[in-house]
Structure 1
Amino acid sequence: MRALVLNCTLKASPARSNTDSLADVVVDALEKQDVQVSRIRLADLDIKPGVTSDEGTGDEWPGVHEQLLASDILVVATPTWVGRPSSIAQRMLERMDAMISETDDQDRPVAYNKVAGVVVTGNEDGAHHVISELAGGLGDIGYTIPGQAWTYWNKGPGPGPSYDETGYGHDWSAKTGRAMASNLVAVAKALQASPVPAPPD
């Protein structure tokens, strides 16, 4: 089984990403269940604006799209900015919109029988809103969203330390991240055993 983590931090490598740090918990839990995990930091790529799977010369989204198609599990990890997903997360959804009309050899949308979950960080509130926006979009694209397929961390209202700058709340976020990984794998296995069929005419 294969998983892909798309980190939607605004920080390009090699800058340390708080979002990566929390995603590490989920990755570790997935790997302990023998899931092969790949990770992409989208800020490192030139992803053109658009709603197709290939926007032409210089666009690096096609490589991401290829990995999406090859993965059973998708984890989208994003910071919270102004109470919303990052602009990179929004661009990711816009590019994934093309997958709604792409089908496999059994006429199923290509995201059918794949599962997805969400990791959110931020030193402000808004995590549940971010989870809802991303999970809703991924569901529209065709992904199955298991129950409690998310984890998050935030400090609470107002300015303050980021995830890597404090141990506050880490135990809860880690426990929730391990539950997220378990639920993703369980539902992915269930879909492999009993796939969702193509939509009726």
Structure 2
Amino acid sequence: MKALMINCTLKQSPEPSNTEALARVVVEQLEKEGVDVDAVRAVDLDIAPGVTSEAVRDGDAWPHVHDKLLDSEILVIASPTWLGRPSSVAQKVLERMDAMLSETDDEGRPVAYNRVAGVVVTGNEDGAHHVISEISGALADLGYTIPGQAWTYWHLGPGPGPNHLDDERGREWSHRTGRAMAANLTAVARAPTERPVGAPPG
């Protein structure tokens, strides 16, 4: 089984990413569950704006990411919170994924069917549940299954404050929730191997 984690931080490599640090807890648990995990930091790639899976222009990196999506049973979108909303990078990723609404497999199912997804959120302001609901809602629209408690987040309340990597407070809960998230994603991802969701009725 394979998973793809797309980190939608605004920080380019090799700058440390708080979002990646929390997502790494989920990744490590997925690996303990026997899942092969690939990670992408989207801001490092030349992803053009658009709503198509094909290259928008020369050098557009999205088709390669799209291939990774189709090769994975599990998707984790990780985003910081800015102004109480998902990052602009997360929005760009979701907009490119919009094209998956019209893509089907050989049996006529939307390509996101029989795949599961979850969300990781960090930020030194409130709004984590809003970000989780926005991203989860978009992924469910595409056809991904969102298991119960398929998320984790870290923040220390509204207003400016320290980052995840700078403060131990709240980490134990976020990490424990992240491990539960990974276990839930893996368990639900295995179910369609025995009883896959079929194509929608005509």
- Shorter-chain TM range is over 0.9
Output the CA distance in 1 between the equivalents of 2:125 and 2:79: 13
Aligned to 2:35: 35
Q: Counterparts of 1:39-188 in structure 2 under 5 Å?
A: 39-54=39-54, 55-188=56-189
Where 2:186 maps in the other structure, the secondary structure is helix
Paired with 1:116 and 1:160, the residues of 2 have a C-alpha distance of 29
Deviations 1:94-116 (A, max 9, x none): 00000010011111110000000
Deviations 1:36-65 (A, max 9, x none): 000000000011111000213121100000
> Where does structure 2 lack aligned partners over 5 or more consecutive residues?
none
- Secondary structure of residue in 2 paired with 1:128: helix
Shift of 1:81: 0.2
In structure 2, distance between residues paired with 1:45 and 1:24: 20
Q: For residue 143 of structure 2, what is the amino acid of its counterpart?
A: G
Residue in 2 that maps onto 1:20: 20
Matching residue's letter, 1:24 = R
d(CA) in 1 for partners of 2:193 and 2:87? 32
Distance 1:117 1:157 in 2: 24
Q: What is the distance in 2 between the residues matched to 1:78 and 1:22?
A: 10
TM-score, normalization by structure 2: 0.98
C-alpha distance in 2, partners of 1:80/1:193?
A: 37
Name the CA distance, whole Å, in 2 between partners of 1:17 and 1:155. 17
Partners of 1:181 and 1:71 lie apart in 2 by 14
Counterpart residue type for residue 50 of structure 2: G
SS of the aligned residue for 2:189 comes to helix
* C-alpha distance in 1 between matches for 2:95 and 2:199: 23
Letter of the 1:176 counterpart:
T
Cα RMSD for the two superposed structures: 0.6
* Rounded Cα–Cα distance in structure 1 between residues aligned with 2:76 and 2:6: 6
1:13 deviation in Å?
Answer: 0.5
4+ runs deviating over 4 angstroms: none
SS at match of 2:26: helix
SS of 1:25's equivalent in the other structure is helix
Question: TM-score under structure 1 normalisation?
Answer: 0.99
Which runs of no fewer than 5 residues in structure 1 stay unpaired? none
Amino acid in the other structure paired with 1:32? K
The superposition leaves residues 78-98 of structure 1 with CA deviations (integer Å, 9 ceiling, x where unpaired) of 000000000010011100000
| Paired residue secondary structure (1:39) | strand
Deviates more, 1:54-63 or 1:112-121: 54-63
